[in-house]
Chain A
Amino acid sequence: MARFGMVIDTRKCVGCMDCVVACKTENDVPDGYCRDWIAQRLQGSMPDLRLTITSERCNHCDSPPCVTCCPTGASHVHDFGKVVLVDHGKCIGCKACLAACPYDARFVHPDGYADKCTFCIHRVEKGLNPACVSVCPTHSMHFGDLDDPASEVSRLIASRRHFVLKPDAGTKPRIFYLE
């Protein structure tokens, strides 16, 4: 059983936002909302400054608090690739999952249900990469099965220094950033 994850090389990412545009186009994300976004973190003090650019989205955590808090089971871990999804027909719009996510990755769709990144599962089921990965002009984004030691994402994690966002939140995120 696959367990999908993403690896993003912060040395290659230039923050061009192609991933954001591709996601909005592919998933018909409404105006004024986003399923993924770019964050720039400037750390240090002059002259020792370090700029890290990260393309961020739902981390499809191994311990997803959005799933455990959902009162209807609308938020669930899909069998295919252990991707965290929302069943729109079950969501009552209580917003508990929005409050439970330490990454603030969810939002309420104008139609009333909680919405977020799906890892473009409709594409992945056809053997394609998520839209954001497929359009990245610097090839900084990689997608695959974290449980397969031969996959590109597993090899990158094994060979490069990396970090995840907010590890102390204890959610075991599955998006890894290469340093």
Chain B
Amino acid sequence: MLEIITTRHNPMIDPSLHVWGWEIPVYLFLGGWVAGCMVLSGWLMRHGRAPGQRSVAYVLPWVGVVLLSLGMGALFLDLEHKLYVWRMYLTLQPTSPMSWGGWILILVYPVLLLGALASVPGALLSRWTSLEKFRVRLTRPASLSRLGTANIALGIALGIYTGILLSSLGARPLWASAALGPLFLVSGLSTGAAFAHMVARDPAEQSTLLRADNAFLMVELALIALFLIGHLTSGAVHSNAAALLLGGPYTAVFWVFVVGLGIVLPLLVQSLMASHRIGHTLIAPLLVMLGGLALRFVIVSAGQYSHWISP
């Protein structure tokens, strides 16, 4: 028996750490979604999709700008010392993933805006000749290919960062897993692909994105399995953390909303869609997106619940 009585009480820490509420899971979800949009639009740009071809490649940057702004808004709401946020951009702390993330977000915005600019019809820019000249140069195949590469690289960096942000905080055993970065990246890719095939107007592009989404969902399942196996084989502290999702208080929400409704069910439905046994439906991609949101909520909340065993 070990019974601990303590006199301490600090709000947000006791009785169990709960320093991050809804803002951080929402930010991580939107960041992952933007990452997925960037990688997919970058891939399409590199594969010859030009503005004016009704390609979703030039819708995703607009969506990305809006989502990223909403995500950064959520992040700002979470800060307790809001007026000092500019301090983030006076330094680069090499050991802090949050610092890398701040700078990655600064790089993401202009690249998204370049993708958005490429899709603006020339007639709308007739008043700003220098901007129109720049747009024309930007939409040359070689420039679009380079823009695509930048989108893919920054999208991967952004997606992985959302996971590493948590996994670098070793005091919370559930987060201390190398699988979390790839898992959040692939979850972001599946969310981005689900959204992209939901809004795509070109049937061939929609089919490609649908198949890509199914592949991402299968990889996501494999990464969740590796994440859990890694914890279960890493000693008492980590197996206790995994137990939160395997019989503990987060079991139902994790297996029902993240795995069942967020991955397995849409994967089945989208497989039927890919093989043309059923028509395209909005329900499956919406479930994928809600599953991505649920994944962030469960991991952020359960991670704060997990702790090192005393003393």
Q: Which residues of A are interface residues toward B (Cβ below 8 A)?
A: 17, 20, 32-34, 37-45, 52, 54, 56, 65, 68-74, 89-96, 98-102, 104, 106-108, 111-113, 163, 165-166, 168-170
Q: Looking at the complex, which of B126-134, B165-173, B179-187 is the stretch in contact with chain A? A: B165-173
Q: Which residues of B are interface residues toward A (Cβ below 8 A)?
A: 1-14, 17, 19-20, 78-82, 84-85, 87-88, 90-91, 93, 95-99, 101-102, 168-172, 237, 304, 307-308, 310-311
Taking the closest CB of chain B, its distance from the CB of A34, in whole angstroms, is 5
Taking the closest CB of chain B, its distance from the CB of A56, in whole angstroms, is 8
A31-B309 Cα distance, complex, nearest whole Å: 29
Taking the closest CB of chain B, its distance from the CB of A12, in whole angstroms, is 18
A37-B258 Cα distance, complex, nearest whole Å: 39
Taking the closest CB of chain B, its distance from the CB of A174, in whole angstroms, is 16
User: B98 contacts A94, CB within 8 Å?
Assistant: yes
What A residues does B168 contact at CB under 8 A? 68-69, 100
What A residues does B9 contact at CB under 8 A? 32, 34
User: B7 contacts A41, CB within 8 Å?
Assistant: no
User: A104 contacts B88, CB within 8 Å?
Assistant: no
Q: A41-B3, A111-B81 are in contact. List 17 more A-B contacts (CB 8 A).
A: A33-B10, A34-B7, A34-B10, A37-B8, A40-B6, A56-B6, A65-B171, A69-B168, A72-B87, A72-B90, A73-B91, A73-B93, A92-B87, A100-B170, A104-B14, A108-B12, A166-B311
Taking the closest CB of chain B, its distance from the CB of A55, in whole angstroms, is 10
Taking the closest CB of chain B, its distance from the CB of A78, in whole angstroms, is 17
What A residues does B78 contact at CB under 8 A? 94-95
25 contacts between A and B (CB under 8 A): A34-B9, A40-B5, A42-B1, A56-B6, A56-B8, A69-B95, A69-B98, A70-B93, A70-B98, A71-B93, A71-B98, A72-B90, A74-B87, A90-B84, A91-B87, A92-B84, A96-B169, A98-B17, A99-B20, A100-B169, A101-B171, A104-B10, A108-B80, A112-B81, A168-B308
User: A96 contacts B98, CB within 8 Å?
Assistant: yes
User: B10 contacts A100, CB within 8 Å?
Assistant: no
A68-B189 Cα distance, complex, nearest whole Å: 29
Taking the closest CB of chain B, its distance from the CB of A9, in whole angstroms, is 16
User: B1 contacts A45, CB within 8 Å?
Assistant: yes
A20-B14 Cα distance, complex, nearest whole Å: 17
User: A92 contacts B99, CB within 8 Å?
Assistant: no
Taking the closest CB of chain A, its distance from the CB of B6, in whole angstroms, is 4
Taking the closest CB of chain B, its distance from the CB of A8, in whole angstroms, is 13
Taking the closest CB of chain B, its distance from the CB of A110, in whole angstroms, is 9
Q: Among A40, A73, A163, A169, which residue has its beta carbon within 8 angstroms of that of B308? A: A169
Question: Does more than half of chain B's interface fall in helix, strand or loop, or is it mixed?
Answer: loop
Taking the closest CB of chain A, its distance from the CB of B8, in whole angstroms, is 3
Taking the closest CB of chain B, its distance from the CB of A140, in whole angstroms, is 16
A65-B35 Cα distance, complex, nearest whole Å: 28
Q: Among A39, A65, A94, A165, which residue has its beta carbon within 8 angstroms of that of B5? A: A39
User: B10 contacts A169, CB within 8 Å?
Assistant: no
| A20 and B7 in contact, given A72-B90, A96-B98, A163-B311 (Cβ under 8 angstroms) | yes
A113-B99 Cα distance, complex, nearest whole Å: 17
User: B11 contacts A32, CB within 8 Å?
Assistant: yes
User: A100 contacts B12, CB within 8 Å?
Assistant: no
What A residues does B8 contact at CB under 8 A? 34, 37-39, 56
What B residues does A106 contact at CB under 8 A? 13
| A89 and B84 in contact, given A38-B6, A38-B7, A99-B20 (Cβ under 8 angstroms) | yes
| A90 and B87 in contact, given A32-B11, A37-B6, A69-B168 (Cβ under 8 angstroms) | yes
What A residues does B14 contact at CB under 8 A? 104
Q: Closest 8 CB pairs between A and B?
A: A93-B80, A37-B8, A93-B81, A112-B81, A107-B10, A102-B171, A71-B99, A71-B98
User: B80 contacts A113, CB within 8 Å?
Assistant: yes
Taking the closest CB of chain B, its distance from the CB of A27, in whole angstroms, is 14
A165-B171 Cα distance, complex, nearest whole Å: 13
A100-B169 Cα distance, complex, nearest whole Å: 5
Which of the listed residues B171, B172, B310 has the most CB atoms from chain A within 10 Å of its own CB? B171
A107-B13 Cα distance, complex, nearest whole Å: 7
User: B169 contacts A92, CB within 8 Å?
Assistant: no
What A residues does B307 contact at CB under 8 A? 102, 104
A71-B1 Cα distance, complex, nearest whole Å: 40
